Amino acid sequence: MRIEKDFNLRQYNTFGLDCRCNYFIESGSVDDFVELAASYDLPPEKILLLGGGSNFLFTEDFDGTVIYPMIQGMEVVREEGEQVWVKVGAGVVWDDFVAWAVDNGLAGVENLSLIPGHVGASPVQNVGAYGMEAADTIYEVEAVDIQAAERVTLGVVDCCFAYRDSIFKHQWKNKYIITAVTFRLNKKADFKLDYGSIRAELEQAGEEVSLLAVRQAVIRIREAKLPDVNVYPNAGSFFKNPVVPATLAQEMKEKYPAMPLYALEDGTAKLAAGWLIEQAGWKGKALGQAGVHDKQALVLINKGNATGLEIVRLANEIKKSVFLKFNVWLEPEVNVL
Ligand code: EPU
């Protein structure tokens, strides 16, 4: 177990922001976390559970303890017919898991290629892209209950998954240290090619549909649109795509025929926040060192030495403009601390 005092998280958040915490605790062992929970008083509001740090915006120092689980390992734990259950350590880099699944002919996460972050964060955020989300394949989540100092296994129903959301962001915030996630993958792929430009990308490359071809197409699309965190530190989509009543969406569509719109089964519709932001005139613009990516307006970038507050100010200005133009409030996808 590694314990650091008064630690700077700059290397641990993809926005590259300076943020100090009282303690930083890293371990690759589940037993360490049980022991930690048993030995120290860790009130939920004094804990920050950190994965790849790709979804945080720090606006001030964190007056508490950052827990950084680095539990490794990928293991097939069960096989039945075409289904294969794979248990993956929370500290495994998400895309290493996706690459492993694709290499082993296991389907279910290929559209989620190149999403930054660690596996342990995937149930929290219910990461998603191109018509797939982690919740489609998560079978169960192993964790340490911090107050009870014991190991627990949580079923998929317990997790209350929704679009970029789960119970771990609400009632169970800071209740559990997620240590491993078991995914149910499939030897037979059910390709999802119709969201975004995956099919067009495959056709353009003249490739047969396969797990690897889909993974590579997703990687090409993402690399073309999303900024490299090493060049422009960022946290991927800054806002969620707003979900509005279908009637409201239809009214907007009549006024703005080019507006992208995804009808959902429950009578609501999802709008493209990136489109709304671009229409509000923000694409490629900046306020100080905080900028809006010029190829995807949903992504805010640190253009140099931006502070968290500078990025929040930009986000607030964007929210205001979008609201004034479209009467729609954008909600951040990123956790602002
Ligand atoms: N659009 C614009 N201008 C922009 C950006 C987008 O007009 O600046 C339009 C696009 O042309 C398209 C629509 O908006 O018609 C949707 O854009 P895109 O396909 O790029 O996806 P998105 O809705 O902006 C979501 C996820 C991404 C994920 C992609 C692909 C959210 C908040 N974001 O973005 O996730 O990669 O779909 O599935 O749901 C992330 O969460 O960090 C992330 C990158």
Distance in angstroms (rounded) separating the CA atoms of residues 184 and 86: 6
Identify the residue whose C-alpha is closest to ligand 1 atom 28. Answer: 129
Q: Which residues contact 280 (CB under 8 A, 6 or more apart)?
A: 318, 321, 322, 325, 326
Predicted local distance difference test score (pLDDT) of residue 41: 86
Q: How much distance in Å is there from the Cα of 276 to the middle of ligand 1?
A: 11
Distance in angstroms (rounded) separating the CA atoms of residues 260 and 274: 10
260 contacts 245 by C-beta, under 8 angstroms:
no
Identify the residue whose C-alpha is closest to ligand 1 atom 25. Answer: 129
* Coil, helix or strand at residue 200: helix
Active-site option among 26, 110, 122, 164: 164
In tens, the pLDDT along 316-334 reads: 999 999 999 999 999 999 9
pLDDT beneath 50: ranges in the chain: none
| DSSP structure class, residue 165 | B
In tens, the pLDDT along 126-176 reads: 999 999 999 999 999 999 999 999 999 999 999 999 999 999 999 999 999
Active site residue 333: yes
pTM, two decimals, is 0.92
| DSSP structure class, residue 209 | P
Among 14, 275, 334, residue to substitute to test ligand 1 (most atoms within 8 Å of Cβ): 275
Predicted local distance difference test score (pLDDT) of residue 247: 92
Residue ranges lining ligand 1, Cβ < 6 Å: 129-130, 196, 225-226, 236-237, 240-241, 260, 272, 274-275, 278, 283, 296-298, 333
Active site residue 164: yes
| DSSP structure class, residue 82 | T
Strands (E), the chain: 2-8, 20-27, 47-49, 56-57, 62-69, 74-80, 83-89, 128-129, 132-133, 138-145, 150-155, 176-186, 234-237, 243-245, 261-263, 268-271, 286-287, 290-292, 299-302, 335-336
Identify the residue whose C-alpha is closest to ligand 1 atom 34. Answer: 237
